[in-house]
Amino acid sequence: MKSAKSIEELLLASEEGTLDSVDRDMLNELLRRDPDSRAKFARWQMMTVALQDGVPSQWKAEAKVEVQETNRSVWSERQVYRWVIASAAALLVAVTFRWVQLETRPANLVADNTVASGRASAEEPTSSGVAVVTQLVNAKDAVIRGVGESSSQSLSVNAALNPGSVRLESGWAQIEFLNGATVVLHGPAEMEVVSAAEAIMHRGRIRAEVPPAARGFVVRTQDMKVVDLGTEFGLEVSDEGSNVQVFDGEVELQVDEDQPQLVGAGKSLQRGSGTGVGLVESAMTPDRFVDAAGLQRLAETQQNERYQRWREASQTLRKDSRLIAYFAMDSPLKGQRFLSNDTVPHKPDLDGAIVGATVTRGRWEAKPALQFKRPGDRVRVNVPGEFESLTMATWVRIDSLDRWYNSLFLTDSYQLGEPHWQILDTGQLHFSVRASTSGDENEPSVGPPHHVALSPSFWDPSLSGQWLHLAVVYDVDAGTTTHYLNGDVLSVDDIPDHQIVRTTRIGMASIGNWSTPLEPEEHFAIRNLNGSMDELAIFAAALSPTEIKEMVEHGKP
């Protein structure tokens, strides 16, 4: 069989996943019969992996750099040489294995994409945590420091908590322990999460609701122990001592472990600070302890305020002259199958066509979003024009990363200047702009067609269901690609000079998916986003870190 296309063209199409069935058969035949083609295939794989993927761990670590150019890492020639040799050795094993496959299997021999091959793992995914944050209302400086950790991390809704110290300067945090107990923490407060059924209060107020299934939940202070027997109680720790108020049911109070006492509903006991101080009855003050229902009302008020603040910021953003397209997803989407482009002035030709994706709740109760679940779900758009630098920013809720590639925004084809933005199943953000054209018979295209900017892995299953702000800045002048997560820089990637694309273009593209089958029987790679998208903005400019941060502050739920 003589191929109508060169081996380079077929390999490039295979790498990009655009290989149709006819070309795949041609490529398989060439690899089976032609030693020169197999040699080119091996060199192609080595070069692609060496320059684009398989980034060594130390390189990833060095990619966690600040925005300042002075901090960018530079490899010495010796390091690059050592790594390429190591990659080549590993790759030869893989290529040999591939050849065996090619020689022994009659059909479907070339994978649709080689970058993510070999990523499957037999290990079952795991997670950790003894409690989860389910509400944050007007929370200021809400952080947790894990046991043995030197730095604190900000609390976020739906975040899993491992044992450690939770601090809250003001506002409220609702924490649900995995045994079933719910605690509303009122700042300023510091509480130590010990296990799924135990906490220690160092200062501040909590209101604990403990259903029968969670009976036995324990809260300690410096000088007493409260064992819940299926009830609702408040506990306040201050410089004056500890105060326990029982609102429903009863608790077992232990000041002296040998003489525990039961305290029933309507009782309030105060123990002053210092040794040898006993318990005295005090006035009930239930209004000082916000319960879960009251916190929900406060949360709804806060959500409405944040939604209105986002709407104001969104109205201003729509007029930004740098916007190429803006899908705020703030109009009633239910029942309509088009997605309005919300730039001002309005450009109806940029409206998207919703295919399969369904309407779901957005960041706020009053705001819709689009959910992508099935392989065909997508929004089709056509964005004409030529640009230079690009910025893409979106709010997404990821259910899981169970595809090799989880699409955010991809052009249909992958020609010179076209961008692809997606998330790998490893939790890494993946952005590239095609830097070369496919060659012809007289001038075949060789070498890697683009430069992939991979972020460090940011994802783990504990983030499932959280609204995350993702952004990427392709800065032509600076020669960098910068990935952002929730307004913070994840990585800054230097683009080699010969792979900087100064004229970018989009054309036909999909939000939340990739490519459209051209033939009735054609199969396509499953790359749809498994989750929801609440806003997408595309700029013909490199936004600054401050501008990215402001978008997050104005839009966080």
- pLDDT reading at 534 higher than 60: yes
Eight-class DSSP state of 528: -
Choose the weakest-confidence range: 8-17, 24-33, 272-281, 545-554.
8-17
Identify the pLDDT of residue 428: 96
State the CB neighbour count (10 A cutoff) for residue 206. Answer: 22
> What distance in Å separates the CA atoms of residue 372 and residue 52, rounded to the nearest whole number?
28
Q: Are 14 and 37 in contact (CB under 8 A)?
A: no
131-290 and 304-439+446-555: same fold? Answer: yes
Contacts of 307 (CB under 8 A, 6+ apart): 363, 364, 366, 367
What b/e string do you get for 288-302 counting C-beta neighbours within 10 Å, with b at 16 or more? Answer: ebbbbeebeeebeeb
Identify the pLDDT of residue 11: 72
Q: What angle do CA 366, 370, 374 make, to 5 degrees?
A: 145
**pLDDT, the chain, mean:** 81
> What distance in Å separates the CA atoms of residue 153 and residue 292, rounded to the nearest whole number?
24
Q: Which residue, 54, 48, 4, is CA-closest to 29?
A: 4
Third-level CATH fold of 304-439+446-555: Jelly Rolls (2.60.120)
Note the pLDDT tens digit of each residue in 156-180.
888 889 999 999 999 999 999 999 9
Contacts of 100 (CB under 8 A, 6+ apart): none
Percent of the chain whose pLDDT exceeds 90 = 55
Residue 503 C-beta-side C-alpha neighbours within 13 Å = 6
Segment of 12-26, 173-187, 441-455 carrying the highest mean pLDDT: 173-187
Percent of the chain whose pLDDT exceeds 70 = 76
Q: Which residue, 473, 324, 323, 317, is CA-closest to 385?
A: 324
Q: Are 303 and 364 in contact (CB under 8 A)?
A: yes
Over its C-alpha atoms, the chain yields an Rg (Å, rounded) of 28
> What distance in Å separates the CA atoms of residue 429 and residue 478, rounded to the nearest whole number?
20
pTM of the model: 0.69
Choose the weakest-confidence range: 135-139, 191-195, 332-336, 372-376.
332-336
> What distance in Å separates the CA atoms of residue 464 and residue 487, rounded to the nearest whole number?
19
Structure tokens at 552: 């997050």
Residue 358 C-beta-side C-alpha neighbours within 13 Å = 7
Distances (CA, A) of 552 to 152, 230, 547: 21, 41, 9
- Would you kindly state where each structural domain of the chain is located, as residue ranges? 131-290, 304-439+446-555
Residue matched to tokens 């009976």: 215
Distances (CA, A) of 249 to 97, 183, 207, 209: 67, 16, 14, 10
Q: Distance between alpha carbon 188 and the CA centroid of its chain, in Å?
A: 30
Structure tokens at 331: 């109009």
Residue 6 C-beta-side C-alpha neighbours within 13 Å = 13
Q: Are 286 and 527 in contact (CB under 8 A)?
A: no
CATH class (in words) of the domain with range 131-290: mainly beta
